[in-house]
Amino acid sequence: MIQRKLTLVMENKPGALARVVGLFHQRGYNIDSLHVDPIEDFEPFRFIEDELGIKFQVGEVSRLTIRTTVGDKLMRQILRQINKLIEVIAVSDDESTYLKGILRNENLL
Amino acid sequence: MKIAGNDILIQSLINEGVEYIFGYPGGAALHIYDSIFNQKEMQHILVRHEQGATHAADGYARATGKPGVVLVTSGPGATNAITGIATAFMDSIPMVVISGQVQSHLIGTDAFQETDMIGVSRPIVKHSFTVDKQENIAQIVKEAFHIATSGRQGPVVIDVPKDLTNPDELFDFNYPEKANIRSYNPPVKPENHQVSRAVDAILNAERPVIYAGGGTISSNASDELRELNELIDFPVTNTLMGLGVYPGTGKRFLGMLGMHGTYQANMAMHNADLIIAVGARFDDRITNTPEKFAPKAKVIHFDVDHSSVSKIIEADIAVFGQVKDSLKAINNHLRSRKDEINKEKLSPWHQQIREWKEKHGLDHELYKNDSDEHAILPQAAVQHIYQESEGKAFVTSDVGQHQMFAAQYYHFDEPRKWINSGGLGTMGFGLPSAMGVKLAYPEEEVICITGEGSIQMCIQELSTCSQYKLPIKIFNINNLALGMVKQWQDMNYDGRHSSISYEDSLPDFVGLAESYGHVGIKITKNSELKEGIAKAFAIKDKLVFVDIYVDPNEHVYPMLVAPNGSLKDMWLGKGEKT
């Protein structure tokens, strides 16, 4: 078990953060640390816009960083569960990124 | 045209084609109820408890494939709906639940009948919405129905503060044609390389099993599954949730698998070299100890939900997408390689399965013994119900021994005919879900097979059945105790029967049913069983409550040995193990 970092891009809507945090408790995972703020510089995230054919506006999306200590198999499960949350647009760990239905084998966030 | 928030909500539901809305009024929902009063397209069904509303909507959804719709008020109305929402969530049933909420300016003040419904329901919904302004109501309803009915289906809650349904404030109403949710994109079509890898594995298998679950039914993929089986002639087992997706009387059907699965189904899974999981999720009632599950098998997993694949059992080949599309792709691919299909090589495997079935298969002819020398066997009661209904009825069930007997002995030849709470295991589900089914299919026979424990958890709905004249048939498999708990206590707690009996406090069910205007029939002897059940089916225009007193000491077998057992480790009878 090692500490891993997860990065999420999600809609900045009321209750969205609670869904992510709630998921960890509900599925028995643990959060070591959590950081969230609205995205102001969209440059690093243009590929998401291109991939999903969408356009971000200022104030609409947040970036969330979570550190958690888990094994490989559980990490994969956490990623997939987070990807299922309706308000999450993209999520990655060190090795892979989910852009909703699309899985990439690298950390794009 | 300008209309008020309450009318926007109801008109949106009508635009979604909602026929029935199951609910219970209260303060925060009064504007919405006023709007229901003023329209004729949709019928409101007044239940007697909000749990009944959610189960009725759930039964409607399972039988029709269309989303069930529920309306409850804030506070206790909302919390009473929780068990039904969780039931739908665990079985991936499409449902939209609208809950009233206190006025926006009162939220967070502990106002009368205030509950944080979004917070309370969060872990048991696919998604939820709080209405923030009237202009967004139509869009939210559109999105809620889209989310509930697409991808892996599930319940969606819409929480509506009362002030946003105020009839005095008017807004433009245009129902959107599409829901565009940029952060929601469930997979639809499978990828070609996954399909061809799956086909390779299928063509190479010598001891294969198709293991099909509820996802196959949700995806309406029963025809595609049957086509696949025509092509390759593999044995098929169904989960509790999947019964009917392959014909229960079909030539290659093994019966249900898992905790109370048939001997041949569990043995086939354990010894298989290829398991094709179709819309199934390797629940702990299926795998027994995961480390000991099917040690020689390669696993192909068809699912629409990424997170279900390799969650419990590692899949060697994963095919993501709607199961219907994936099976179509597999079938097309197989047809193009038809000359490589070798059904002959499966003969030893089919022979082995026949031997297992002959050795320890279920006895489906218990009903032929009508001697009064022994008590009524619950299995025989289910067999009689099957015979008398010609295997064609919709059957809802509750939770416990009667549920397992129904699953084992009623053969479902069509999907969506077997309606039960598989994942959450909710006692009280049977009667209200039967109401939903009967409303959807008034001409069809709808049966609820229940027990005297479960039926009392939502028995108030007998009154709803009376109001709406729902002539369902209730068969109460009455063993005078919480049978499944008792079975576990017999097997694991040296027969210490802790809190499983009601002593002499059971109601006279016949008298109770009659007090609601229904017909009651009591059966206590084997020799009365056939005639009593036939009499119930002969009554077409009234609800019939048949109270069948069965052997209180009967156990459900087979039963997997746990903990630490594999699928080949089963109890086959009292004191008899594999």
Rounded Cα gap, residues A46 and B323, in angstroms: 33
pLDDT tens sequence across B474-528 = 999 999 999 999 999 999 999 999 999 998 999 999 999 999 999 999 999 999 9
The amino acid at residue B486 is K
Q: Which residues of B touch A54 (CB under 8 A)?
A: 182
Q: What is the pLDDT of residue B181?
A: 93
B149: Cβ contacts below 8 Å, ≥ 6 apart: B67, B94
Which residue, among B180, B100, B136, B121, has the nearest Cα to A19 in the 3D structure?
B121
Is this model's pTM higher than 0.90 or not? Answer: yes
List, in sequence order, the alpha helices (H) in B422-525. 430-440, 461-467, 483-492, 509-515
Q: Is B379 touching A (CB cutoff 8 A)?
A: no
Q: Is B108 touching A (CB cutoff 8 A)?
A: no
- B30 has pLDDT over 80: yes
Mean pLDDT of B87-102: 98
Of A19, A54, A101, the CB nearest to B186: A101
Q: What is the pLDDT of residue B503?
A: 86
Rounded Cα gap, residues B157 and B121, in angstroms: 8
Joined together, the tokens standing for residue B476 give 């109460």
Rounded Cα gap, residues B468 and B461, in angstroms: 11
Mean pLDDT of B5-12: 98
Mean pLDDT of B75-101: 98
Rounded Cα gap, residues B306 and B222, in angstroms: 21
Mean pLDDT of B95-124: 98
**Of B113, B139, B352, B460, which residue is the catalytic one?**
B113
Rounded Cα gap, residues B572 and B555, in angstroms: 10
- A72 has pLDDT over 90: no
pLDDT tens sequence across B278-336 = 999 999 999 999 999 999 999 999 999 999 999 999 999 999 999 999 999 999 999 99
Give the strand order in the sheet containing B253-256: B253-256, B236-238, B208-212, B274-278, B298-303, B317-320
Of A11, A26, A76, the CB nearest to B123: A26
- State the distance between the two ends of chain A, measured CA to CA, in whole angstroms: 22
Q: What is the pLDDT of residue B57?
A: 98
A74-79 contacts: CB < 8 A, separation 24 or more?
Answer: A74/A29, A75/A4, A76/B310, A77/A27, A77/B307, A77/B311, A78/A6, A78/A24, A78/A27, A78/A29, A79/A6
Which residue, among B73, B29, B465, has the nearest Cα to B81 in the 3D structure?
B73
* b/e map B177-193, b = 16+ CB within 10 Å: eebebbbbebbeebeee
Cβ within 8 Å, pair A22-B127: no
Rounded Cα gap, residues B323 and B311, in angstroms: 18
Which residue, among B65, B62, B56, has the nearest Cα to B21 in the 3D structure?
B56
Chain A residues bordering chain B (beta-carbon distance below 8 Å): 10-11, 14-15, 18-19, 22, 26, 52, 54, 73, 76-77, 80-81, 83-84, 86-89, 100-101, 103
Answer whether B47's CB lies under 8 Å from B24's CB.
yes
Of A10, A22, A100, the CB nearest to B185: A100
Give the strand order in the sheet containing B68-72: B43-46, B20-23, B68-72, B95-101, B155-161, B127-130
Mean pLDDT of A32-37: 96
pLDDT tens sequence across B457-466 = 999 999 999 9
Which residue, among B428, B368, B365, B367, has the nearest Cα to B396 in the 3D structure?
B428
**Of B50, B143, B388, B461, which residue is the catalytic one?**
B50
The CB density around residue B133, as the number of other CB atoms within 10 Å, is 11
The CB density around residue B110, as the number of other CB atoms within 10 Å, is 8
Cβ within 8 Å, pair A101-B123: no
- Percent pLDDT > 70 in chain B is 100
- Burial of B53 from C-beta contacts in 10 A (0-12 / 13-18 / 19+): buried
Cβ within 8 Å, pair B183-A88: yes
Cβ within 8 Å, pair A18-B119: yes
Q: Which residues of A touch B184 (CB under 8 A)?
A: 86, 100
- B50 a catalytic residue: yes
Joined together, the tokens standing for residue B570 give 């089963």
B253: Cβ contacts below 8 Å, ≥ 6 apart: B235, B236, B237, B238, B246, B247
The pLDDT confidence band at residue A109, using thresholds 50, 70 and 90, is: confident
Rounded Cα gap, residues B155 and B127, in angstroms: 7
Rounded Cα gap, residues B577 and B561, in angstroms: 8
Q: What is the pLDDT of residue B173?
A: 97
Do the strands B274-278 and B127-130 form a parallel or antiparallel pair, or are they unpaired? unpaired
Of B119, B183, B306, the CB nearest to A89: B183
The angle at the Cα of B427, spanning B424 to B433, to the nearest 5 degrees, equals 90
pLDDT tens sequence across B549-567 = 999 999 999 999 999 999 9
Q: Which residues of B touch A101 (CB under 8 A)?
A: 185-187
Of A22, A77, A89, the CB nearest to B122: A22
Cβ within 8 Å, pair A77-B311: yes
The amino acid at residue B211 is Y
Q: What is the pLDDT of residue B1?
A: 82
* CA-based nearest distance B153→chain A, Å: 12
Q: What is the pLDDT of residue A101?
A: 74
Mean pLDDT of A60-70: 95
Cβ within 8 Å, pair B119-A26: no
Q: Is B292 touching A (CB cutoff 8 A)?
A: no
- B188 has pLDDT over 90: no
Q: Which residues of B touch A45 (CB under 8 A)?
A: none
Which residue, among B432, B330, B337, B340, has the nearest Cα to B23 in the 3D structure?
B432
The angle at the Cα of B105, spanning B102 to B111, to the nearest 5 degrees, equals 45
Q: Which 145-184 residues of chain B touch chain A by CB within 8 A?
A: 147, 181-184
* CA-based nearest distance A20→chain B, Å: 10
- Burial of B494 from C-beta contacts in 10 A (0-12 / 13-18 / 19+): exposed
Identify the sign of the CA torsion A64, A67, A72, A78: negative
Answer whether B312's CB lies under 8 Å from B303's CB.
no
- B113 a catalytic residue: yes
Cβ within 8 Å, pair B186-A52: no
**Of B484, B489, B542, B568, which residue is the catalytic one?**
B484
The pLDDT confidence band at residue A104, using thresholds 50, 70 and 90, is: confident
Which residue, among A23, A107, A17, has the nearest Cα to A68 in the 3D structure?
A23
pLDDT tens sequence across B69-86 = 999 999 999 999 999 999
The pLDDT confidence band at residue A28, using thresholds 50, 70 and 90, is: confident
Q: How many residues does chain B have?
A: 578
The pLDDT confidence band at residue B136, using thresholds 50, 70 and 90, is: very high
Q: Which residues of A touch B183 (CB under 8 A)?
A: 10-11, 86-89, 100
A22: Cβ contacts below 8 Å, ≥ 6 apart: B122, B123
Task: Give the C-alpha distances (Å, rounded to integers) separating B298 from B91, B205, B242.
Answer: 26, 9, 21
Of B118, B306, B311, the CB nearest to A83: B306
Cβ within 8 Å, pair A77-B307: yes
Answer whether B513's CB lies under 8 Å from B519's CB.
yes
Q: Which residues of B touch A83 (CB under 8 A)?
A: 306-307
Rounded Cα gap, residues B14 and A101, in angstroms: 31
Q: For tokens 């995806």, name the residue.
A: B219
pLDDT tens sequence across B192-201 = 999 999 999 9
SS3 label, residue B447: strand
Bigger pLDDT: B180 or A31?
A31
* CA-based nearest distance A74→chain B, Å: 8
Question: In three state form, how does the secondary structure of B506-567 look?
Answer: CCCHHHHHHHCCCEEEEECCHHHHHHHHHHHHHCCCCCEEEEEECCCCCCCCCEECCCCCCC
